[in-house]
Chains A and B, each alone.
Chain A
């Protein structure tokens, strides 16, 4: 997800940290609100808010709550319960098209998001109304809270399902920033269809004992594990 956000904020989204509500900005709706931490990191780096706010993440008197919140400058929409992002993004896309506005609406979702009925209500509607100003990215790590997606609620054949639902679909390695950038270079993927980009990812990527594990969905790390994980991914 970090790589996807890097590409979005560095290369795709037209947003201005000095004027976070500027008319004409592109809209990112993070439907997987539990990934708010990663978005906060990017927004803080870009100067949407002071980096000191990072210290208050999840803490008493902090400004950054666990699930993404629009109380934070630069955050378009609050989520946290899955299946909420896409319907709202669809409404934004509908209104933007009606007003003749050219900004893009991008919704970043999880595979768990795609369990929710509301997501399917929205994706059928988006295709019905040919919302080609709407792009969905799915952080498809294939692991959810209680098990592997294929064992819980299999989305496969994912790409074909979405094509059958009349979305224009592409698949990409979600950790390959060049590939993600290239995939998003030309939007929509196809005129008259909303775009669906399946980003194949590995949960816990880069940390040997975390990769592809259900346990790291909920697990938090102690100081020693944190140091080890950061060293494995080569971070400072």
Chain B
């Protein structure tokens, strides 16, 4: 997905000269086409994320669109105050792109696992929080990101994620996309973990639990009507995210349901538990270990729905 992101961005930047990339010495093997095509709109700040974000903000204040880009937590947590005070407070046209949300960089360890980012980014006024699940959403999302005037957080996948959606998608920022329909429960997911949520729903179907599956690619602003509708129509809500449970997409869905006074009969948030990952393994292995593989998601949903194994 990160290759696709860079390819689409270069295509857009050919037509839109306001687009700059401000880096912090990360992106090897991916960012070179932008650098080579637009050397005067591409700057590497060195290993200095606070300056990267401040510079991006200054560039944006002069009428440009500045993209910061790095791995996992580097362009968010290291420079969080720059994002808050400089970018969000000034409603600056800065786009913060992370590569590898959740456990994507699994074996590299906790420093490279972005597991609180959604909670933190969605707490910031003026920020859009976007987590594409596949190439279709990722590509549409780059266009939406550039078209949107203001701060934008883009949680980009790390590898060749398989498609979740079939064919073309009707994409609108802030508007959830239904991947399949079902009447017993709704599974909302955000980001590349959709690749686990969808097969989980397919497995559940075989066991007689028909799940609607919905991609909440935009966590902020969230699609309130899709959430309310799902609760009313299917009665049970399950959220799946590659992120800690506190404050993430599942929390956002719960907030909407409470605010709207719509209480589903059953509700379950599936995500990472309240701890730092201590096990070592590949992305897929860790997803399974921490309950986010298709099989584990299906088992959790079955338990919620009161079905025995």
Q: A residues bordering B, Cβ < 8 Å? A: 70, 77-81, 83-84, 86-96, 98-99, 117-118, 121-122, 124-125, 129
CA gap between A138 and B64 in the complex, in Å: 28
- By the criterion CB–CB under 8 Å, are B51 and A122 in contact? yes
- By the criterion CB–CB under 8 Å, are B50 and A121 in contact? yes
Chain B residue numbers with a CB within 8 Å of A80 are 85
Could you count the A-B residue pairs with CB atoms below 8 Å apart for me: how many are there?
A: 90
Contact partner of B57 (CB less than 8 A), chosen from A83, A88, A129, is: A88
Contact partner of B61 (CB less than 8 A), chosen from A92, A121, A129, is: A92
Q: Which of B40, B55, B57, B90 has the most CB of A within 10 A?
A: B55
- By the criterion CB–CB under 8 Å, are A92 and B62 in contact? yes
Q: Mark B219-248, 1 if CB is under 8 A from A, else 0.
A: 000000000000000000000000000000
Q: Which residue of A lies closest to B60 (CB)?
A: A91
Q: Do A90 and B51 form a contact, CB below 8 Å, given A78-B89, A98-B41?
A: yes
Q: Which residue of B lies closest to A87 (CB)?
A: B54
B43 within 8 A of A: yes
- By the criterion CB–CB under 8 Å, are A81 and B81 in contact? yes
Q: Do A124 and B61 form a contact, CB below 8 Å, given A81-B81, A87-B55?
A: no
Chain B residue numbers with a CB within 8 Å of A84 are 54, 81-82, 85-86
Contact partner of B59 (CB less than 8 A), chosen from A81, A91, A122, is: A91
- By the criterion CB–CB under 8 Å, are A93 and B85 in contact? no
Chain B residue numbers with a CB within 8 Å of A118 are 48, 50-51, 54, 82
B71 within 8 A of A: no
CA gap between A175 and B190 in the complex, in Å: 58
Contact partner of B85 (CB less than 8 A), chosen from A81, A91, A98, A117, is: A81
- By the criterion CB–CB under 8 Å, are B56 and A91 in contact? yes
Q: Mark B28-65, 1 if CB is under 8 A from A, else 0.
A: 00000000000011010110101101111111111110
CA gap between A148 and B61 in the complex, in Å: 35
Chain A residue numbers with a CB within 8 Å of B50 are 83, 87, 117-118, 121
Contact partner of A91 (CB less than 8 A), chosen from B48, B55, B89, is: B55
CA gap between A121 and B58 in the complex, in Å: 15
Chain A residue numbers with a CB within 8 Å of B298 are none
B66 within 8 A of A: yes
- By the criterion CB–CB under 8 Å, are B90 and A91 in contact? no
Shortest A87–chain B CB gap in Å is: 2
CA gap between A87 and B78 in the complex, in Å: 15
Shortest A26–chain B CB gap in Å is: 13
CA gap between A99 and B59 in the complex, in Å: 11
Chain B residue numbers with a CB within 8 Å of A95 are 20, 58-59, 61-64
Contact partner of A88 (CB less than 8 A), chosen from B46, B55, B64, is: B55
Chain B residue numbers with a CB within 8 Å of A88 are 54-55, 57-58, 61, 86
The 3 A-B pairs with the shortest beta carbon distances in the complex, nearest first, are A91-B58, A87-B54, A121-B51
Pairs across A and B, CB under 8 Å, 30 listed: A77-B90, A78-B85, A79-B85, A80-B85, A84-B54, A84-B85, A86-B54, A87-B50, A87-B53, A87-B54, A87-B82, A87-B86, A88-B57, A90-B51, A91-B55, A91-B56, A91-B59, A91-B60, A92-B62, A93-B58, A94-B59, A95-B62, A95-B63, A98-B41, A99-B62, A118-B51, A121-B46, A125-B46, A125-B48, A125-B55
Chain B residue numbers with a CB within 8 Å of A121 are 45-46, 48, 50-51
CA gap between A102 and B62 in the complex, in Å: 13
- By the criterion CB–CB under 8 Å, are B58 and A94 in contact? yes
CA gap between A129 and B45 in the complex, in Å: 10
- By the criterion CB–CB under 8 Å, are A78 and B90 in contact? yes
- By the criterion CB–CB under 8 Å, are A125 and B45 in contact? yes
CA gap between A85 and B261 in the complex, in Å: 44
Q: Which residue of A lies closest to B55 (CB)?
A: A91
Chain A residue numbers with a CB within 8 Å of B89 are 78
Q: Which of A84, A87, A122 has the most CB of B within 10 A?
A: A87
Q: Do A90 and B62 form a contact, CB below 8 Å, given A79-B85, A80-B85?
A: no
Chain B residue numbers with a CB within 8 Å of A83 are 50
CA gap between A78 and B85 in the complex, in Å: 8
CA gap between A92 and B58 in the complex, in Å: 4
CA gap between A83 and B57 in the complex, in Å: 14
Q: Which of B75-102 contact A (CB under 8 A)?
A: 81-82, 85-86, 89-90
Chain B residue numbers with a CB within 8 Å of A93 are 58
CA gap between A80 and B85 in the complex, in Å: 9
CA gap between A79 and B53 in the complex, in Å: 15
CA gap between A83 and B63 in the complex, in Å: 23
Known: A84-B86, A91-B60, A118-B82; 8 extra A-B contacts, CB below 8 A, are: A77-B90, A79-B85, A81-B81, A83-B50, A93-B58, A98-B40, A125-B45, A125-B55
